[in-house]
Amino acid sequence: MKIAPFKVEEWMNEYEMDAEYNIAETCVESLTVEELLNFSDDPAARLEEIKKMQLTYGDIKGSAAFKKGVSSLYQSIKPENVLPSHGAIGANFLLLYSLIEAGDQVVSVFPTYQQLYSIPESFGAEVKKLELKYEDQFLPDLDKLRTMVNQKTKLIAVNNPNNPSGVVMGEDILKKLVEIASEVDAYILADEVYRGFDLGEEIPSIADLYEKGISVGSMSKVFSLAGLRMGWIAGPEEVIELCQLHRDYTTISNSMISDYLSVIALKNKDKIIKRNLAKVKKQLKILDEWVKQEELIDYVKPNGGTTAFLKYNLDLDSETFAKKLFNKKGVLVVPGTAFGREGFLRIGFAGNEKELKEGLARLKDFLDESGDNI
C-alpha cells in the first residue's frame, strides 16, 4: 500500500519545535493537569485517585463514564454509539480502514484535513474532490456535489468547521448534504473536532441529522487537551461494531489516565468550553483587526474553529514564503500547498495571545520588507 506524504504533519514536524513564534498551531492554549483538576468538584481527591490508579489496559472499549460524557455532546447519540480512539486522527483512520475498500467511491471536500482523501486513495478507492473556493466563501457547491455522487458513492467526507478556512457549514447546508447522501445511501463522515467553537450559529452534528452520519471528535481542540490523545467515533451501531473489530488490531485500548482526565473535562464541559470560546473570540478579533490593516492580506473571516486561511498578494509561492518567514522572523505558519492551495497561508489564532500578537507583528514586518528583500 502506498500513501501520499501527510503534508501538514511533515511541515509541523520539521519546524514546530524550533519556532520562536508558532502561529501554525491550531489548539487553544493547552490546559495543565492542575488547571484541569481545578475544574473538578474536588481537585485534591481527583489527584489522589490518579496516584492510586493501577496502570492496566483498563476498559478495552473505553470507560462507561467517558462514553456517557461524549454522548452528552449530541442530541441523539447514546453511550453505546461511541467508540474511543487515539485522537481524532485515529478515529478518521479507523473509520476509513473499516468502511472503504478498493473500488469504492469517496467524495471529499477540498481543501480539508488530508486524511479524509489520502487514506481512501491509498486503499484503492476512487476519490472525487469537491472544491471549496475562496470566491464562494469556502462553502460547498451542492449542485456540483449532486452531479458527483452516484450509486457507487460509499462515503462523503467533510470537516466542520473546516480546516484550514475556519468556515462553518450551517444547518441548512448540512440538511441539503444529508438529502444528497441519502439519495445514494452514502455515509457522511464529518470530522467535527472544532465543533463547539461556534462564532455564529450553533453547529449541529451530522450524527444528529442523519442516520448514516458519523461524527469524529476529540479532546484536543475544544477541550485544550491534545496531550491526552483521546478522540472518538459517534455513529450508527453497525459502524461502531465494525470499527471495534478493526480497532482490536490497531489500538487495543486508550490510556486509563487519559480516559480518567477526559471524563473530568467532559463533566465540566460547559466551564471549559466557555473559557476556551472566550479566548477564541478575543483572539479572532485581534487577527481580524490585523487583516484589515494589511493591504497584501485578505481572508474569509472564520465563523468557527481556530484556523484561518490567509490569502496573500505576493509573487511568491507559499512554501518559499513560509520558509523565508521562518528563517528571517522566527514565525511559523503553514503554506497553502500543504492543503493543495497556492497563494494561501494557514494560521492558528487561539494559542498564546502574546505569541499571536508578536507573530502577526513580525509577519507584518516581513510583508513590509517584501518589495525589496524577499
In tens, the pLDDT along 91-130 reads 999 999 999 999 999 999 999 999 999 999 999 999 999 9
- CA–CA distance from 238 to each of 18, 57, 204, 244 (Å)? 45, 25, 22, 10
Task: Provide the whole-model pTM.
Answer: 0.95
The class of domain 7-32+271-369 in CATH terms is alpha beta
> Is pLDDT above 70 for 54?
yes
Answer whether 140's CB lies under 8 Å from 173's CB.
yes
> What are 118-162's pLDDT values in tens digits?
999 999 999 999 999 999 999 999 999 999 999 999 999 999 999
> Is pLDDT above 90 for 30?
yes
Q: Please name which of 39, 13, 84, 59 lies closest in space to residue 231, comparing C-alpha atoms.
A: 84
Measured from the Cβ of residue 18, the count of other Cβ atoms closer than 10 Å reads 10
Query: What is the rounded average pLDDT of the residues 188-216?
Result: 95
> Is pLDDT above 80 for 191?
yes
pLDDT of residue 176: 98
Distance between CA atoms of residues 3 and 63, nearest Å = 33
* Mean pLDDT score across all residues of the chain: 96
Name the E strands within the chain. Answer: 21-22, 82-86, 105-110, 126-131, 153-159, 187-191, 213-218, 230-234, 297-298, 307-312, 331-332, 334-335, 344-348
Q: What is the DSSP string of 41-72?
A: S-HHHHHHHHHT---S---TT--HHHHHHHHT
Task: Judge residue 317's burial from the number of C-beta atoms within 10 Å of its C-beta, 0-12 exposed, 13-18 middle, 19 or more buried.
Answer: middle
Distance between CA atoms of residues 130 and 116, nearest Å = 12
pLDDT of residue 370: 81
pLDDT of residue 201: 80
Distance between CA atoms of residues 185 and 173, nearest Å = 18
> Is pLDDT above 80 for 299?
yes
Query: What is the rounded average pLDDT of the residues 41-54?
Result: 95
pLDDT of residue 372: 54
Question: What contacts 212, CB < 8 A, 6 or more positions away?
Answer: 181, 182, 185, 186, 187, 188, 236
User: 54-268 domain in CATH 3.40.640.10?
Assistant: yes
Query: What are the boundaries of each domain within the chain?
Result: 7-32+271-369, 54-268
pLDDT of residue 245: 96
Query: What is the rounded average pLDDT of the residues 350-360?
Result: 97
Answer whether 141's CB lies under 8 Å from 109's CB.
no
